[in-house]
A and B are shown apart, each in its own frame.
Chain A
Amino acid sequence: MSAVKKTNPALIVGKYAALAFYLIFALFPLYWLLKIGLTPDALIYSEGTRLFPSEITFSNFTTVIFQTDFVAYFRNSLMVSLGAAFFTTLFAAGAGYAFSRFVFAGKRIIIALMLVTQMFPLLMIIAPIYKVVADLGLLNSLTSLVVVYTAFNIPFATFLMQSFFDGIPKDLEDAAMMDGCSRFQALRKVVFPLTLPGLGATLGFVFTAAWSELLFALMLISRNDAMTFPVGLLTFVSKFSVDWGQMMAAGVLALIPSCLFFIFIQRYLVQGLTSGAVKG
Chain B
Amino acid sequence: MISRTQKSVRPGETRARRSLYLQYMVEPFFYLSPAIILIGAVVMLPLIIGISYSFQSIELLKPFAYGWIGFKNYVDLWSDRKFWIAMENTLFWTFWSITFQFLLGLGLAMLLNTQFFGKKLFQALVFLPWAVPTFLSALTWAWLFNPVIGPLPHWLAALGILSEPYNILGDPKLAMWGPITANIWFGVPFFAITLLAALQSIPGELYEAAEVDGATPWQTFTKITLPFLAPMIAITVMLRTIWIANFADLIYVMTGGGPANSTQILSTYIFTTAFRKLDFGYASTVAVALLVILLICAVILLWLRKKLVKI
Residue from A92, A124, A129 whose CB has the most chain B CB atoms within 10 Å: A124
Q: Is B76's beta carbon under 8 Å from chain A? A: no
Supply 11 A–B pairs (Cβ within 8 Å), ascending by A: A15-B116, A18-B111, A30-B128, A94-B32, A95-B32, A105-B25, A114-B39, A123-B271, A127-B274, A128-B49, A154-B39
Could you say which residues of chain A place their CB within 8 Å of the CB of B34? 90-91, 94-95
Q: Is B197's beta carbon under 8 Å from chain A? A: yes
Interface contact B27-A115, CB-CB below 8 Å: no
Contact of A214 (CB < 8 Å), options: B42, B122, B132, B134: B134
In the complex, per-residue mask of B100-138: 1 if CB is within 8 Å of any chain A CB, else 0? 000010011001001010000010111111111111110
Interface contact A126-B270, CB-CB below 8 Å: yes
Interface contact A262-B291, CB-CB below 8 Å: no
Could you say which residues of chain B place their CB within 8 Å of the CB of A66? none
Interface contact B124-A126, CB-CB below 8 Å: no
Interface contact A124-B136, CB-CB below 8 Å: no
Could you say which residues of chain A place their CB within 8 Å of the CB of B143? 32-33, 36, 244, 247-248
Apart from the given pairs A22-B126, A29-B185, 5 other A-B contacts in the complex at a CB distance below 8 Å: A22-B111, A105-B25, A115-B302, A121-B270, A183-B27
Residue from A23, A123, A208 whose CB has the most chain B CB atoms within 10 Å: A123
B166 CB → nearest A CB, Å: 14
Interface contact A91-B144, CB-CB below 8 Å: no
Residues 75-110 (chain A) with a chain B CB within 8 angstroms: 90-92, 94-95, 97-98, 101-105, 107, 110
Given contacts A44-B149, A102-B27, A120-B291, contact A170 B1 (CB under 8 A): yes
Q: Is B163's beta carbon under 8 Å from chain A? A: no
Q: Is B69's beta carbon under 8 Å from chain A? A: no
Residue from B3, B245, B274, B301 whose CB has the most chain A CB atoms within 10 Å: B274
Q: Is B72's beta carbon under 8 Å from chain A? A: no
B173 CB → nearest A CB, Å: 23
The 8 closest A-B pairs by CB, nearest first: A212-B133, A262-B131, A151-B42, A124-B287, A127-B280, A95-B35, A128-B46, A94-B31
Contact of A110 (CB < 8 Å), options: B36, B38, B140: B36
Task: Select the stretch in B12-20, B80-88, B91-99, B248-256 that faces chain A.
Answer: B248-256
State in angstroms the CA–CA spacing of A94 and B211 once bound together: 49
Main secondary structure of the interface of B (DSSP, over half): helix
Could you say which residues of chain A place their CB within 8 Å of the CB of B44? 113, 117
Q: Who on chain A is nearest to B288 by CB?
A: A124
State in angstroms the CA–CA spacing of A32 and B211 once bound together: 44
Interface size on A, residues (CB 8 A): 97
Residue from B122, B140, B208, B248 whose CB has the most chain A CB atoms within 10 Å: B140
In the complex, per-residue mask of B259-297: 1 if CB is within 8 Å of any chain A CB, else 0? 000000001001100110000100110011011001101
Interface contact A154-B136, CB-CB below 8 Å: no
B56 CB → nearest A CB, Å: 11
Q: Who on chain A is nearest to B139 by CB?
A: A251
Residue from B53, B132, B267, B297 whose CB has the most chain A CB atoms within 10 Å: B132
Task: Select the stretch in A54-62, A194-202, A263-271 that faces chain B.
Answer: A263-271
Interface contact B290-A121, CB-CB below 8 Å: yes
Could you say which residues of chain B place their CB within 8 Å of the CB of A18? 107, 111
Interface contact A19-B116, CB-CB below 8 Å: yes
Contact of A49 (CB < 8 Å), options: B31, B151, B204: B151
Interface contact A15-B151, CB-CB below 8 Å: no
Q: Is B229's beta carbon under 8 Å from chain A? A: no
Interface contact A98-B248, CB-CB below 8 Å: no
Q: Who on chain A is nearest to B48 by CB?
A: A128
Could you say which residues of chain A place their CB within 8 Å of the CB of B291? 120-121, 124
